[in-house]
């Protein structure tokens, strides 16, 4: 077993290679397969944003640090190349995590949210992308057993709550999230609260800017994945983060701690099976 963490500024993405899960649809040999026959015919494949190519780099031995910005466009570029990297590296049974921060919906600041479903701003559970002039919809789905397994790793002595629920993916940081602290605001406070109420009634616990794309692409690739984010604030109480910087830094370690427990669990199971 190998475990590698691909890090980005602010958020992190980790790729854990572990045992087979019968509930995840993937090839019997556990290898990542691309839904693009063109790649198999290429004599050299360049992963532009990761800085790798298949001729000069031994991708079966090499993983590295990567950086990306905020939102779907940068995430989709990164994720597509990570999936290709896993294919070229002949990784078996990978599990991809996105670790980061979010805005909470009626949850206390510092709460860790495990995503079990993703919706867009209109509460649609799919990722919509124009391809060759046509809109293509891909369902955004997450492994439910993985979410349950992650929740079970929360400890009674943790000084924070861990919850499982839906996450809303926004394409905009300000008005698209119902924020009233941007350069523009064309809606009332009552409308903002009403929108948060709709999200809450739909089972949404937090807002970020990547989950619909992340769930759709990993599901389309047949790769098990999960999102673990900490809520930096309760959006019902406003749009500005009020906790001190040192507290924020401690908040951001909480999703990492939970995913590290999962990685340790995978390693322990692997060692037990091999002994």
The token pair that represents 139 in the structure block:
């369902």
Q: How far is CA 8 from the centre of its chain?
A: 12
Reported for 175-184, long-range contacts at CB under 8 A and 24+ positions apart, including other chains, are 176/121, 177/103, 177/207, 177/235, 178/235, 179/239, 180/239, 181/239, 181/240
Q: Quick one: CA torsion of 227, 229, 147, 226, rounded to 10 degrees?
A: 10
CATH topology of domain 3-274: Rossmann fold (3.40.50)
Q: How far is CA 30 from the centre of its chain?
A: 21
The pLDDT mean for the chain works out to 85
Q: Are 113 and 229 in contact (CB under 8 A)?
A: yes
Taking only the tens place, the pLDDT of each residue in 122-163 is 999 999 999 999 999 999 999 999 999 999 999 999 999 999
Are β-strands 46-47 and 52-53 bridged in parallel, bridged antiparallel, or unpaired? antiparallel
pLDDT value of position 89: 85
Residue 195: partners with Cβ closer than 8 Å, 6 or more residues away: 178
Taking only the tens place, the pLDDT of each residue in 81-120 is 899 988 888 888 899 999 999 999 999 999 999 999 999 9
Taking only the tens place, the pLDDT of each residue in 22-35 is 444 555 666 667 76
Tell me, yes or no, if the pTM score tops 0.75. yes
- Backbone dihedral angles phi then psi of residue 127, each to the nearest 5 degrees: -100, 125
**Would you list the domain boundaries of the chain?**
3-274
């Amino acid at each position: 077993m190998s475990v590698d963490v691909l890090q980005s500024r602010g958020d992190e993405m980790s790729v854990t290679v572990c045992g087979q899960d019968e509930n995840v649809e993937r090839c019997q040999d556990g290898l990542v397969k691309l839904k693009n026959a063109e790649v198999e015919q290429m004599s050299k494949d360049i992963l532009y944003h990761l800085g790798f190519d298949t001729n000069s780099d031994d991708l079966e031995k090499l993983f590295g640090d990567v950086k990306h910005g905020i939102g779907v466009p940068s995430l989709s570029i990164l994720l597509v190349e990570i999936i290709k990297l896993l294919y070229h590296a002949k990784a078996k049974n990978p599990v991809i995590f996105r670790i980061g921060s979010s805005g909470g919906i009626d949850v206390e600041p510092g709460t860790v949210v495990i995503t079990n479903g993703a919706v867009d701003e209109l509460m649609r559970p799919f990722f919509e992308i124009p391809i060759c002039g046509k809109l293509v919809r891909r369902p955004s789905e997450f492994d439910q057993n993985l979410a349950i397994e992650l929740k079970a790793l929360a400890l009674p002595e943790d000084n924070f709550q861990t919850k499982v629920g839906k996450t809303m993916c926004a394409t905009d940081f300000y008005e698209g999230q119902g924020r009233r602290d941007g350069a523009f605001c064309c809606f009332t406070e009552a409308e903002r609260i009403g929108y948060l109420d709709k999200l809450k009634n739909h089972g949404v616990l937090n807002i970020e800017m990547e989950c619909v794309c992340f769930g759709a692409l990993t599901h389309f690739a047949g790769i098990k994945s999960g999102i673990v984010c900490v809520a930096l604030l309760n959006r019902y109480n406003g749009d500005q983060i009020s906790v001190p910087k040192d507290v924020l830094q401690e908040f951001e370690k909480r999703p990492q701690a939970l995913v590290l427990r999962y990685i340790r669990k995978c390693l322990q199971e692997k060692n037990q099976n091999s002994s």
